[in-house]
Amino acid sequence: MGLTEIRVAAEYCFGSTPLELTNLAKVNFIHAPNGSGKTTISNALSHQPLDPDSRLTWQIAATDTSIRVFNEAYRSKVLNEQVDGIFTIGAESTAVNARITLLERERVDHRTDREIWTKAIGSAAGNGQASGLLGEIEAERRNASDAIFESHKNTPEQVRDTIFKGFRGSKDKFFEEASSRYGPGVAVAKNVTWEALEARNASLTGERHRRSPLSVLSVLVLLSEEQITQLQADATTVGTGDLATLIHNLANEDWVSQGRQHLQHTDGICPFCQQELPETFGTRLSAYFAAGYDDALALVTSITELVNTRSELLYSELSRLEAAIEADSAIDSPRFTDVIDSIRTATELVLSRLAEKRRHPTARVDVDDIGPLVSHLNELVREINTVIGVHNGLIEHSATELQKLVDDGWDLFLEGADTSKLLKRYRGVSASKLEKIEQLRSQISESQQADEARETEIETLRNSISNTVAVAERINELLQALGFHRFHLAIADEIAGGYRIERDDGSLAFDSLSEGEKSFVCFAYFLESLSGSSVSGGTINPVIAVIDDPISSLDSDTLFIVAAYIRDIAKKVIEGQTNIDQLIVLTHNTQFHHEAAYATETAKATDRRHYRLRKGLDGITKVQDDGARSKIRGSYELLWQSVADIAGGDEDSPIAQVGVFNIVRRIIEGYFKTVGSTQPHDRQQPLSVADELLMSMFLTWANSGSHTIIDDFAQSHYIGGAREFLQLLQLFFELQGHGAHFDMMIRASGGSSLLESGSVFAKRAD
């Protein structure tokens, strides 16, 4: 099983969030500048657990396939000189093999011990599969669970559903709750009995609702003390004028006053006798009442209006109060009804007295206010509100009281002799057996750790030995296949497992090997070990190959050889023609990356994956998933990309006007310095003087270095439009016989449309 993702945590490099490489394909290329975490990734992968089961859950890279890593750490431990040019890349000896045999025998013995200990621990699985100590604990738990569940059925039925609510449907849930509540510190108060719990349960589990408090009356009186005094006083009217004696003698001033309202509509005719009235009759009549009667009438009128307003509000409040009392069935309504009726009657009496006073403003009226009755009613309201408040308080805390009832019920149940005995026995048996289980698990863990150490030692020993002759032959074959003829490996009989590196003339070459050549030998050995076996005739297992910068210190020729071989390995991995299941290549070298990662257009997009590691200004490296196509470009390709961008974009932009001159110069210098063979061009078509000078300058660039001094004219000459300048570049390549290269680079830069008819780089007609 290949890798689908890699997850490496390293705060110093990747920050607080681990770096993740996801959607890994069969072949993967990771381009990473130096210092961006490339070595951190390869080192992390090199520490894959040895145990196959542990590999599947390994957080860094979960896979059951062995991961083999080539990096600097691998190089440093593979090639070791012994004496006089003899070195080892494996040391087969009786002692080494004996040690491996002993370690493997110990691992078998330990595996047998672990199987015995694991069987002793057993399993708590149901369906008759329980075994070992865990099975014995489960059997004890089951017995206690059944007995305790049956015991709870003996509690009073009235409280049973309340106390054990939510646990009666499952014996397991009931036992878990009983176990969690049980403890040596459980103490039940003396007043907690089943009878007491039944009474509390009846109070708390009946129908419960909040009651609304009643509102007191806001109208406390209809008349103030002063107003009552004013109403009870006899007002003496001292009228003036010639009518005063007549009105006093007849004692009919109230009747006369009422008649005044008709006087102004009679046109001088008496409304009673229908005789013509004297002209001054109205004036003489007003003079009489102005002496005090009108003031008394105004006073009683004002009092009456105020009382009418208050009585209307009072009647409204009394109606709302009656409705609230009727809605609360717990209130003794007759107590309130009698007082309310009394208040209404007293109010009507006050209004009646005021009406009488208005008819006789100067007469005495005895009146009693409703104040005492209202005070009595408000006191009754306050009393019942106190009762309602107590009731609502009980409802508000019913949840707490109900929980206390449940807790007291559980405590009383668990304190019972049978329940307590069962739980004590289960806890004792369980604790004893769990202690034994913990000891066995500790022994298993120690045994596994010891075997991991043995596995590490075995791996180290196996990596250090191989069939010496077979290894030498395979590495020499590999060197030949890679086109590397500078030296070959020969067997050194002086030291078991020793080799010599010889030149073709037989001279020893180890001391004269460059660092790059030593690195190449290590890489060849790594490639051989991927498809070889440490023991002659041994099984060749699938592997995941991780190659981290194999071209360190290599010259350009060797770099090309290594890249070509990796390209060949990648092809075989995709086609399934090798035991390498998956290939991961990390490098900082752009040229090597291009060579190694090269693939034809027909390659499946799902077979390859490209990533870039990018280090930010904060020093933290992030991963960029480029998908199936590499986005790494060399400087030469980037120059051509700029040509395509300028030709297809804004030719008047500053970058086009200023940058195109240097871009073209670097392309011509770089390309023609590599291919050479430039020649003066014969003009095939008429050119302007300025264009001819530019073509000559192109030829100068092609034949001179970057430090050649160019005439001021060439540097300052206005090149016109950027597209016309680039068309001259195209013409120059064509005249030099390299027009195909120009077209190829434009297409590779995504500018195929620029070569089409009617576009910037369309082919000229002959």
Length of the chain: 766
pLDDT of residue 166: 87
Burial of 257 from C-beta contacts in 10 A (0-12 / 13-18 / 19+): buried
Q: Could you tell me which of 446, 462, 447, 450 has the C-alpha nearest to residue 99?
A: 462
Considering its fold, how many domains does the chain have in total?
4
Domain boundary among 537, 567, 585: 537
The tens digit of pLDDT for each residue in 745-766 reads 888 777 888 888 889 888 875 5
- Residue 142 is assigned to a structural domain of this protein: no
Largest distance between two CA atoms of the chain:
171
Residue 724 lies in a domain: yes
- Whether 44 has a pLDDT exceeding 90, the answer reads yes
Instruction: Report the distance separating Cα 66 and Cα 81, nearest Å.
Output: 28
Residue 714 scores a pLDDT above 60 = no
Top-ranked range on mean pLDDT: pick from 265-274, 440-449, 585-594: 440-449
Better-predicted residue by pLDDT, 156 or 766: 156
In tens, the pLDDT along 496-526 reads: 456 778 877 777 767 667 777 777 778 887 8
Distance, CA of 94 to chain centre: 58
Tell me what pLDDT residue 536 has: 45
User: 161-216: per-residue pLDDT in tens?
Assistant: 888 888 888 888 988 888 888 876 666 777 788 888 876 776 667 656 777 899 99
Domain that holds residue 744: 635-755
* Of the candidates 55, 45, 91, 69, the residue with the CA atom closest to the CA atom of residue 463: 91
Please work out, in degrees rounded to the nearest 5, the angle formed at the alpha carbon of residue 689 by the alpha carbons of 684 and 695: 60
Of residues 376, 221, 375, 227, the one with CA closest to residue 310:
221
Whether residues 552 and 659 fall in one domain: no
Amino acid 389: pLDDT: 79
Give residue 449's pLDDT band: very low, low, confident or very high (50, 70, 90).
very high
The answer to whether residue 43 is domain-embedded is yes
H or E stretch covering 456: helix 417-464
pLDDT for 467 equals 57
Distance CA 208, CA 213 (A): 16
CA distances from 457 to 52, 103, 200, 451 (A): 16, 8, 73, 10
Residue 708 neighbours by CB under 8 Å, 6+ apart: 700, 701
Task: Answer whether residue 590 is part of any domain.
Answer: yes
- The answer to whether residue 230 is domain-embedded is yes
Strand partners, 621: 615
- Would you tell me how many other CB atoms lie within 10 Å of the CB of residue 14? 21
Final residue in a domain of this structure, among 632, 657, 673: 632
State the average pLDDT over residues 710-739: 71
pLDDT at 725 over 90: no
Q: What dihedral do alpha carbons 744, 749, 750, 756 form, nearest 10°? A: -40
| pLDDT higher than threshold 90 for residue 370 | no
Same domain, 1 and 59: yes
Q: Are residues 239 and 343 in the same domain?
A: yes
- Of the candidates 562, 447, 459, 445, which has an alpha carbon nearest to the alpha carbon of residue 46? 459
- Residues 568 and 481: beta-carbon distance below 8 Å: no
pLDDT at 30: 92
Considering 395, 410, 435, which residue would you say is the last residue of a domain?
Answer: 395
Contact 701, 663 (CB under 8 A): no
Q: What is the DSSP string of 699-738?
A: HHHHHS-TTPPPPHHHHH-----HHHHHHHHHHHHHHTT-
Query: From start to end of 134-271, where are the E strands?
Result: none
**Helix H or strand E segment including 578:** none
Q: Please report which confidence band the pLDDT of residue 282 belongs to, taking 50, 70 and 90 as the band edges.
A: low
Chain segment 118-145, per-residue pLDDT in tens: 999 888 876 667 888 888 888 888 898 8
Between CA 722 and CA 403 the distance in angstroms is: 87
| Residues contacting 36, CB < 8 A, separation 6+ | 13, 613, 614, 615, 621
> Is pLDDT above 60 for 243?
no
* Edge-to-edge strand list for the sheet holding 580-587: 66-70, 543-548, 580-587, 27-31, 608-615, 621-627
> Angle at Cα 63 formed by Cα 62 and Cα 67, nearest 5°?
105
471 and 592 in a common domain:
no
Q: How far apart are CA 99 and CA 461, in angstroms?
A: 9
Are residues 229 and 365 both part of a single domain? yes
Structure tokens at 466: 């191989």
Question: How would DSSP label each residue in 70-127?
Answer: ESHHHHHHH-EEEETTEEES----HHHHHHHHHHHHHHHHHHHHHHHHHHHH-B--ST
pLDDT at 91: 36
28, pLDDT greater than 90: yes
Q: Which strand (E) or helix (H) includes residue 69? A: strand 66-70
pLDDT of residue 9: 92
Considering the domain architecture, whether residues 301 and 338 belong to the same structural domain is answered as: yes
- Please report which confidence band the pLDDT of residue 718 belongs to, taking 50, 70 and 90 as the band edges: very low
Say if 115 falls within a structural domain. Answer: no
**What is the average per-residue pLDDT within 702-706?**
65
Do 263 and 371 share a structural domain? Answer: yes
Tell me the pLDDT tens digit for each residue of 520-558. 778 887 887 787 544 444 567 889 999 998 876 666 667
| Residue at 366 is within a domain | yes
In a domain, 191, yes or no: no
CB 60: neighbour CB atoms within 10 A?
18
The CA distances from residue 4 to 22, 336, 383, 548, in Å, are 6, 84, 78, 19
Same domain, 258 and 379: yes
* 303 and 387 co-located in one domain: yes
| pLDDT at res. 25 | 92
- 370, 518: one domain: no
- 368 near 346, Cβ under 8 Å? yes
Which of these ranges, 8-22, 312-326, 678-692, has the smallest mean pLDDT?
Answer: 678-692
Write the pLDDT tens digit of every residue in 54-73.
888 899 999 988 999 998 88
Q: Say what the pLDDT of residue 26 is.
A: 92
- Say which residue, 284 or 139, is predicted with more confidence: 139
- pLDDT > 90 fraction of the chain, expressed in percent and rounded: 12
User: Mean pLDDT over residues 417-423, rounded?
Assistant: 82
Together in a domain, 566 and 695: no
Same domain, 667 and 625: no
| Mean per-residue pLDDT of the chain | 78
